[in-house]
Structure 1
Amino acid sequence: MKTILKLRELTKKFGSLTAVDALTFNIQKGNVYGILGPNGSGKSTTLGMVLNVVNPSSGSFEWFDGEMNTHEALKKVGAIIESPNFYPSMSAEDNLKLVCKIKGVEYSRIDVVLEIVNLHDRKKDHFSSYSLGMKQRLAIASALLNDPEILILDEPTNGLDPQGIHQIREIIKRIAAEGMTILLASHLLDEVEKVCSHVVVIRNGKKLYSGPVDELNATHGFFELKSEHKDELKSFLETHSAIERYDEADNDLIKAILAQPYEAKLINKECFEKGILLTHLVKRKETLEEQFLKLTKNQ
């Protein structure tokens, strides 16, 4: 599989502050990558370095297996790392014509990208009449004009209402389904879980995890249990070989973390045979949020 981007020990310091600390990971063609971390974790600084707008303090990055210099490589990249910035008194179409001139792209691409972001019927309207979500969609259209090999988005749904968020995510998924490589920075676990195939988790500039989203979330799940025989249930769970540990919730629910695959019907049968009648039993999978909190709790 073709490697679009390689980061090797990439580091950025601002005085005594290390914003990005020796980041190393690869972006492979055809995947959707999320750089996930809290605000201030170094996501935007990382994107700034690979887009040549922030100078690294040390380390390196390489586009397209080093086949071309960064200046040439960036002609094959589409990126939005700031708020959409177009002329408010001009139509969407005319704004995109200016971008075409700058990028050396044929005007025929305008209708294509406006269709992709569902703005074709509003192309004659002034940018000032657009909602925040529409402005963000136009920015994505602008980034797609040069038919890039990779699309880079920094917090693409920031500040949008639920409808705007849904529209942006659907566009990202549709573009990805057609084979485009996407790299997006987000502090939203839900966003990464819904649109990304791979994730790089960073905190305080350090990489905590890099790999498929499914592998970050590849636990055996847990049981939610409730019984009027609570003490007996707890004693049973403490010695059960399939249970890693259990936690008690405020509503008398017990959350039993699985150490291995195990079926709910088996735990129900075993409890019944020991005289423990369960009034609630549900098997669940740990969410990405739970895995993320577990990953970052000691950082």
Structure 2
Amino acid sequence: MENILTINNLTKKFGALTAVKNLSFTIKKGNVYGILGPNGSGKSTTLGIVLNVVNKTSGDFTWFDGNTSTHEALKKVGAIIERPNFYPYMTASQNLKLVCQIKGVSGAKIDEKLELVGLLDRKDSKFRTFSLGMKQRLAIASALLNDPEILILDEPTNGLDPQGIHQIREIIKKIAARGTTILLASHLLDEVEKVCSHVVIIRQGVKLYAGRVDEMNASHGFFELKSNQNSILKKWLSENQKFKNYKEEEDKIIAFLAHELDAESLNQQLFKEGVVLTHLVKRKESLEEQFLQLTGNQK
């Protein structure tokens, strides 16, 4: 599958602060990628670097075949990395005509793009009459005017109400279904889970996971445990390689598996150690639980 964007050991420092640290991942054609992480994790900085609006400190990135200059490559990229900025007294159609002139592309597809984002019936309405969600949809239409090979969106649903969020997500799915590669930055796990096929999770500029969303969810699960011999139980869990880690939650111990283990085997092993369990339930980890583990429980 063709590479759209390749990032190698990208680092960005702002004085003593390292916003992005040795970040590497590849965006392949035809997928929807999410860069997921808590606020301040380096998502927007990474997008700014590949869009040539932020200078990198070290590392490298290449667009498409690696032989295309960033300036030329960005002609095949559509991006929204700031709040939509259109002329309030001009109509949606007039604003998009102006964007076409700036980008040096034909205005022949303005109506097509407005229809795609559900704004064709408001093409002659002034921008100042638009809701926040409509403004965001118009921005997406403007980013699609050059028929980009990749669409880059930074927190596309920020500040929107539930209906606006749903509309943006449906538009993203529709654009992806037409074969456009999409890269979106978000701090919302729900957003990534619903619209992305792949995810790159970063915290404090460091990559924690990169791969398919459904493969991230392919964990061994966890046990909910209760016992009157908690000190022995915790010691045994910390020394057993079958477990990644554990945490205490109210009166229960939640033990996360590193390898497959069934409830009956666990019960037998603990009984031999003198630990009698009063509660034993095996559960599958949700994507949210894994994300919180990876990011150190930072929302």
**Equivalent position of 1:192 in the other structure:** 192
Give me the CA root mean square deviation: 3.1
Deviations 1:154-185 (A, max 9, x none): 11111111111111111111211222111111
Trace 1:147-226 onto structure 2 (pairs within 5 A).
147-222=147-222
Deviation at 1:145, TM superposition (A): 0.6
The DSSP-based 3-state class of the residue aligned with 1:9 is: strand
CA shift digits 1:213-270 (9 cap, x unpaired): 22222212346689xxx659xx99x89x9x84776644x6675645556789x89xx9
Distance 1:125 1:97 in 2: 14
In the alignment, which residue of structure 2 is the partner of 1:67? 67
- List aligned pairs for 1:259-298, cutoff 5 A: 284-297=283-296
Instruction: Report matched runs for 1:21-170 at 5 Å.
Output: 21-170=21-170
User: How far 1:277 sits from its partner (Å)?
Assistant: 9.7
Q: Structure 1 unaligned runs (5+)?
A: 271-275
Structure 2 letter corresponding to 1:97: K
Shift of 1:49: 0.8
Give the unaligned 5+ runs of structure 2. Answer: 269-276
Q: Secondary structure at the match of 1:5?
A: strand
CA distance in 2, matches of 1:277, 1:39: 40
Give every structure 1 segment of 4 or more consecutive aligned residues whose post-TM-superposition deviation is greater than 3 Å: 222-226, 243-250, 252-264
Which residue is equivalent to 2:274? none
Q: Give me the whole-angstrom Cα distance separating, in 2, the residues matched to 1:297 and 1:277.
A: 29
CA contact (8 A) 2:37 2:295 kept: no
> Normalising by the residue count of structure 1, what TM-score does the alignment of the two structures yield?
0.83
Q: What is the one-letter code of the residue matched to 2:36?
A: L
Per-residue CA shift, 1:169-209, capped at 9, x if unaligned? 11111211222111111111111111111111111111122
Greater CA drift, 146-155 or 117-126: 117-126
Query: How many correspondences in the alignment?
Result: 286
Q: Which residue pairs with 2:272 in the alignment?
A: none
